[in-house]
Chains A and B, each alone.
Chain A
Amino acid sequence: EVQLVQSGAEVKKPGESLNISCKGSGYTFSNYWIGWVRQMPGKGLEWMGITYPSDSETRYSPSFQGQVTISADKSISTAYLQWNSLKASDTAMYFCARANYYDSFFEYWGQGSLVTVSS
């Protein structure tokens, strides 16, 4: 059974850095693209980007390029979403999802990680 288990909720201050994680199991992690989706409070889903754990190739949405870093460590079957300097507007739920790259969609989803940025 494919499972994606995300790290827990975080409360941070503006300007702080943050790394949230997503651990995959039940499949060969390095063989599938994995991506991140943002959902701001009361709002819709936004595609942030995807990464291929096997060779670290990463694609970003223009809206998130330069704002976050998406990466993966295939040795521990874990993907990451990283911020160097958080803003209040980064407050959101973040979902990881296993991607079907060739058909451009998400097959399996993590449970979500809530990030709250507040002074």
Chain B
Amino acid sequence: SYELTQPPSVSVSPGQTARITCSGDALPKQYAYWYQQKPGQAPFLVIYKDSERPSGIPERFSGSSSGTTVTLTISGVQAEDEADYYCQSADSSATSWVFGGGTKLTVL
């Protein structure tokens, strides 16, 4: 079955830039999406179609794509950005969707 691979954890100090990667063989063909999840809350979409930002999402959140890897970048990280982040995409035929394993962002 199709898999997306994320690092389990990323740590940065406030004001620095956090980069979270997500790798998958079908990413050149399928868009990637990023969700933020804070403890006890439902996930929340922060990036769609690789690099688009929904209304209301701060500009410090951005996304990019290169080959089989997509990256969520958070510039000028704030304490409130500490959360789990999940990438999500579909397999090459778009019949099955999949989430990455999630990355815990810690703001030191």
Contacts and interface: CB of A to CB of B under 8 A. Distances in A.
User: Do A and B actually bind?
Assistant: yes
Given A45-B102, A62-B1, A104 B97 contact: yes
- Please classify how large the interface on chain B is, using the bins under 10, 10 to 19, 20 to 34, 35 or more: 20 to 34
B51 to A, nearest CB: 13
A46 B99 contact: yes
Given A44-B86, A45-B86, A111-B42, A105 B99 contact: no
Given A45-B99, A62-B96, A109-B44, A103 B31 contact: yes
Contacts of A35: 97
A103 B1 contact: no
Interface string A33-44: 001010000001
Given A44-B99, A46-B99, A104 B89 contact: yes
Contact of A44 (B1, B49, B102): B102
> Chain A interface mostly helix, strand, loop or mixed?
strand
Contacts of B35: 45, 106
A61 B45 contact: no
Contact of A109 (B31, B33, B43, B49): B43
Contacts of A105: 31, 33, 45, 48, 88, 97
A53 interface: no
A62 B91 CA distance: 12
A41 to B, nearest CB: 12
B42 A104 contact: no
B98 interface: yes
Contacts of B102: 44-45
Interface string A42-63: 0011110010000000010111
Interface of A: 35, 37, 44-47, 50, 59, 61-63, 95, 97, 103-107, 109-112
Interface of B: 1, 30-31, 33, 35, 37, 42-45, 48-49, 84, 86, 88-90, 94-102
